[in-house]
Amino acid sequence: MWDVVDDRSGATSGDGSEVAPGTLLVASPGLLDPNFRRSVVYIIEHRGRGSLGVVLNRPSEVAVRDVLPTWAPLAAQPYSVFVGGPVEGETALCLAAVRTGHDPAKVGGLVTVRGPVALVDLDGDPDALVNRLRGLRVFAGYSGWDAGQLDAEIARGDWIVVPALPDDVLTGRDTGLWGQVLRRQGMPLALLATYPIDVRQN
C-alpha cells in the first residue's frame, strides 16, 4: 500500500492551483510526448522527493475481469484496465470513490488520497467493499517524477494544475476528458479545450 502524504511544497500552475494529492495535471496543448499527449493525470502522492499519479484517460484493451476477476464487479465503465503511465507497467494501482456517508480513512483496505477518493489494497477482500464504493478503476503502471522534475515541467508550461472532482477518477470518457476538464475551469483556460490536435487544422 502507498503511504500517501501531502507535503504542500509543490509548484503551482498559472491559475494558482497547487500540486497536491487529489489535483489534476492537464497536459498543455503543446505537450507532444506520446505517453502524455492530451492526458489528464490524477496526483496520488506529492512529496519533496517526488510525485506519483495515474493517467485517467488511457483505457487499454485488457478487461479487469481478465486480470483481477474478483474485483471486476466493482469496476466502473468501461470495464478496462487503464494505462496509468509509463513507469512499471506490470504494477497495478487501484483508485476508488466511496459512497456518501462513508469515510475512507475508517474503511479497511483503503488509503485516503483526497475526500472520497482512496487507493484500494488489491490484496484485500472485495466483498468487504461492495456496499461502500461507488466504483473503482484499475491502472497498469503509473506516472512518476523525481524531486524537482514536475516543478520544472510545470514551469516550462507542460502541465496545467487544476482541482479534481471525485467523478474524474471513475469517468467513462477517455479522449474527451481532457477537453471536459479544461472547459469547466472557465476563461481563459476553457479556450484551450478547442485547441486542435493538429495545429495545421487551425
In this predicted model, which residue has the larger pLDDT, 151 or 2? 151
Helix or strand run (H / E) with residue 182: helix 175-183
pTM score: 0.87
Q: What is the Cα–Cα distance from 46 to 201, expressed in whole angstroms?
A: 37
Residue 196 in grid coordinates:
486542435
CA atoms within 13 A on the CB side of 65: 5
pLDDT of residue 61 exceeding 60, the answer is: yes
Residue 187: predicted pLDDT: 85
If you average pLDDT over residues 57-79, what whole number do you get?
A: 94
Q: What is the pLDDT of residues 140-164, one digit of tens each?
A: 999 999 988 999 999 999 999 999 9
What does CATH list as the number for 23-189?
Answer: 3.40.1740.10
